Chain A
Amino acid sequence: MIYNIPYLAVAALILVGLYGVVFKRNLIKMVIGVTLIESGVNLFLITLGYRKGSTAPIYTSSPGGLMSLPVPQALTLTSIVIGVAVLALMLSFVVYIYRHYKTLDARKIGGEDE
């Protein structure tokens, strides 16, 4: 049971994130929802890479024994970098939307004809 806690946290983060995106009207809260999903997925990747009692795979100064494969960590790092780019883009959209409509309520934007 205790070893499943990270997976439960993953499920909780993703579900809370989805709730935020689907049910919240405030654009900032939707952005927070997306980042929560992202954190959940990153946590999942990191958890997959964990091996009990293993050390970092630095061959020159390793004490020997079990070493964990660094692929999941590398994936997570890449995913975090991409996440930052997405977050920056989404927030800059929100800034423009606020300037144009003077509101962050998803129901009140984008309804006009061109």
Chain B
Amino acid sequence: MFFDNLPALAVAVPLFGAFLTPLVSKIGDRARNVFVILVMGLTTTVVFLLVNDVFTNGIQTYVFGGSYQPGETVIRIFFEVDGLSAFMAIIAVVLPLVAVIYSWGFMKKETGLDKYYTLILLMTTGMIGLVLTGDMFNFFVFLEITSISSAALVAFWVNKGKAVDAGFKYIVISSIGALFVLFAIALLYGQYDALNMAVLANSIQYTFLDKMALVLLLVALAMKAGIVPMHMWLPDAYGCAPSSVTLVLIGATQASLYGVFRVVFTLYGRELTTAVNQVSLNVLLSVFIVALALATIVVGVLMALKQSNLKRMIAFAAVAEIGYMILAVGAALSTITVDSNTGVTMLTESGEMALKGGLFHIINDALDIGLLFLVAGAIYYATRETSVNKLGGLARNMKYTTVFFLIGLLAVSGMPPMNGFASKLLIYESTYQINPILAVIAILCSILLLAVFVKVFHSVFLGPKLSVFKDTKEVPKSMLLAMGIIAIVIVFFGIFPELVVNNIVQPAADALTDMLKNGLYVKAVLGVI
């Protein structure tokens, strides 16, 4: 009973927990915190059981409200969990878990926390649903759930005008994006009478309307993923939200990125090698994606250099990191070729490697940037100051936080032995084989990123003790625990990258190229290819 319904439970548990939270809050603050952590813990357990199931037994489908035999007309709502969904679900559930642990200390003095925790759980529901669903309309609904709850959380500190402004920007951008997605879904539905992703992927023809739908989906999801030139909302939203919320927001951004991958590789996977005017779709997409990726990396790093607000600086670094992921995936797209003798579609070896690097970097970015934001939150908690220029000498009073920042700094700029190095090395190696210029730009920007954060490290933590901060104390234990969890995972991933790549990243990379090779995603629903 329990094990048969894992995909539904992964969404139902946090959703039910979200609406119970205001009731539990009536008992007391401690009861509420414990309850939320328990709900998140249960969700994590469910998701990990599901992930384990997917990694050992292959794609899992779940039909809501009835039974379904492969081959029947697909009219019910499906959850379809493949390697990529499982990979993203891990990120979507671990980040909120760490965030609620961190919130125990970080948000202690705030009011309205029952709503805060309700929204965090709703956001988790949205993200998990977004990555597990196999239905286009369902995808839209979860996208909106995530946007609404995260916009409300960005503006959590309503007494600051800037936070409300950031929340407003975020909700306008994401609701327009979601409406574009809905429009594209309508275009697809009008042609194929189907909302199920597997059915659509099976029957897609790459007509004029399909091209329109592809552009709308890509633009809207890229906007939500914060890719330059559609990144303006991201530094504001990341910078103004409480740090614990920012951590979950990273997950929401990456869930949108997951949408991009799902659309390109699964929905249009069959048509990737279709040629239009002698240029095949994969080359066309690859050129656009790589160009956007390079712009994203360069703009992100250069803007990070000139910020003086710590959280905005990390936010721009987050923009740059997203650039690395899509750079790798875009480069991998360009290597898809059809063997003229056997008719087999395949990626070159460097393409496979780039794909793995890009996907590995998703989980690494969530951890690295997440840790830096948590440290920035800890600094704000201890000093009520966010400007780098006004901070100094904190290493004397906040030993653990300093160590965590150092780990985050090394990881985000891709220094060994941290996880950022492992994935960035894969990206450098593979993109160098595809086009050396890509690797050169990527390495240069990584070095600049190191410069940015070394500067911050020096001015915030080192230097003479400032008299203003002489009474500053280390942050509460729950915050240290949250940062510690992430730091340990970062170091672990950095020391054993092979373990992670083989066990978690490889299934996700296989899921991406699945439509080119086997079409298991379609087979799981339709029974035939």
Contacts and interface: CB of A to CB of B under 8 A. Distances in A.
Contacts of B155: 93, 96
B168 interface: yes
B172 A100 contact: no
B189 A48 contact: yes
Contacts, number: 90
A9 to B, nearest CB: 14
B161 A100 contact: yes
Contacts of A21: 172, 176
B464 interface: no
A90 interface: yes
A41 interface: yes
A17 to B, nearest CB: 9
A88 to B, nearest CB: 9
B236 interface: yes
B171 A41 contact: no
Contacts of B193: 69
Contacts of A101: 161
A37 B164 CA distance: 23
B168 A27 contact: yes
Contacts of A30: 172
A109 B179 contact: no
B161 A90 contact: no
Given A41-B182, A71-B195, A93-B155, A114 B166 contact: no
Interface string A24-52: 00010010001001100100110010000
Given A48-B190, A75-B137, A89-B152, A94 B179 contact: no
B488 to A, nearest CB: 32
A110 interface: yes
B392 interface: no
A74 B155 CA distance: 32
Contacts of A86: 144, 147-148, 171, 175
B179 A110 contact: no
A93 to B, nearest CB: 4
Interface centre among B144, B151, B161 (most CB of A within 10 A): B161
Interface string A76-114: 001100100110011001101100110000000110111
B148 A114 contact: no
A89 B151 contact: yes
B160 interface: yes
A96 B144 CA distance: 22
Given A71-B195, A75-B137, A114-B309, A34 B165 contact: no
6 contacts: A21-B176, A72-B186, A75-B189, A78-B137, A97-B161, A97-B168
Interface of B: 75, 137, 140-141, 144, 147-148, 151-152, 155, 158-162, 164-168, 171-172, 175-176, 179, 182-183, 186, 189-190, 193, 195, 236, 309, 386-387
Q: Top 3 A-B pairs ranked by shortest CB distance?
A: A110-B165, A100-B161, A93-B168
Given A27-B168, A97-B168, A114-B309, 20 more contacts: A14-B183, A21-B176, A34-B172, A41-B183, A41-B186, A48-B189, A75-B189, A78-B141, A82-B141, A86-B144, A86-B148, A93-B167, A93-B168, A96-B164, A97-B165, A100-B164, A110-B166, A112-B161, A113-B309, A114-B386
